[in-house]
Structure 1
Amino acid sequence: MNQGVKENVDNTSYPTRVTNVSIPPLNLAGSLRSPPEPRGIVVFAHGSGSSRLSPRNVYVAEALNRFGFATLLFDLLTEDEEGDRSNVFDIPLLAERLVAVLTWISAEPQTAKLRIGLFGASTGAAAALVAAASLGHRVSAVVSRGGRPDLAASALEEVRAPTLLIVGGNDHEVLILNRKALTRLAGPRELRIIPGASHLFPEPGALDAVVAEAGAWFQRYLLSATRNAGGD
């Protein structure tokens, strides 16, 4: 990787290369994890007040590596921008950053031919959906974990990428918002409810249920390690 700073291979259970990256033009910090011959890449968009180091998203990313997918967790904001709390709720700004990162992925030799999936949490899910609406067929699938798809507003009607909304059964207000958003999505869409789970899925087994649902969704829609030449 051109922007790689540090690499190591985790051989505890599966050989995954971890590359710390600095994504231009703002040098956003990211962590790219790639198993041998990845079947696709899943890019994470974290929620408000979180970062690329979110324990929940790291856990999901490592699990998706075992499914055979590369993953990228990155900071959507610079350190200076994080000081302004309003930025973490600026969905157009976050979506713009996500689009820039996906453009970077498409230009890097290691990832250029991989099908792209998006995994968004909380407000990051709205940013993922806005980005998917903007990029069209360049995004092959979207998964939202405890997300706020309603914040994607009118972009929902333009999302044609297959979208899975995962919500905790005890996250009542967010569940209502997800049910309403589901009807507005233009492409294939499904809602999965994790019984007994609250917003951050801290309950025993809840996050593993998220992993199972997300993994199955990406396996379904990121079927090939490469996109057809000229398909984008």
Structure 2
Amino acid sequence: MPPTIVLIRHAQALHNIQSYHALPDPDLSDLGRQQAAELREHLKVHLPADRKVQLIVVSPMRRAIQTCLIALDWLIDSGVPVVPDARWQELYPKPCDTGTPAPQLAAEFPLIDFSGLDPVYPDKTSPAGAQYAYAKEAILARGQSALGDLYKRSEDVIVVVSHSGFMRTAVAGRWFANADYRVFDFVDRQREGVEDDEPYRLVEWELTKGKGGLGTSNDAEVGFGEDLPGL
């Protein structure tokens, strides 16, 4: 049976305050750190007690890593591994949405192993980084690749810390406010007779349907690929 997926958007970062999009790979703001701490206390109470989180996947951008280390430290301390995955980075080629090279990240965040991170990261503009390009086809393919890998895993529950734009347009079709989360199950492809070439899809739990687990997100649904540029 495919794992249950908890999707978390990073807490407020410095570029979220006044749209400082020229700020490279920004850190969390003071409010963002507070939001992440509040999310931590919420998740400790509201994640289903009969389910076991066995893996954390995180975007390798600073704001996602910092949110992960604050909000999920209690899981990390219990031995849950953290895997950075470039596919979960944000969409855009702006400085604020372009990451930091792995050697620098490894020095900043020694608790996380970056050795398995795609060596092309953080490139998303050259031919080498084409799979991370800001283009509809590439973004949708990245979402399917990320979901396909999770679908095949054996863990009971996987928590992912990522970004609003990517999760909204390529993964879940739902909005995420800063530090809010949603819980999903996969459509079971074998049980439902889904063909191999059909996309992976998620079904949201009633627990978070509408405005998200914290009740702070927009409740509108979004079409996959909506407003993304073509090639």
* TM-score between the two structures when normalised by the length of structure 2: 0.39
Instruction: From the two aligned structures, give the one with the greater strand fraction.
Output: 1
* TM-score between the two structures when normalised by the length of structure 1: 0.39
Q: Taking CA–CA contacts closer than 8 Å with sequence separation of 6 or more, which of the two structures ends up with the larger relative contact order?
A: 2
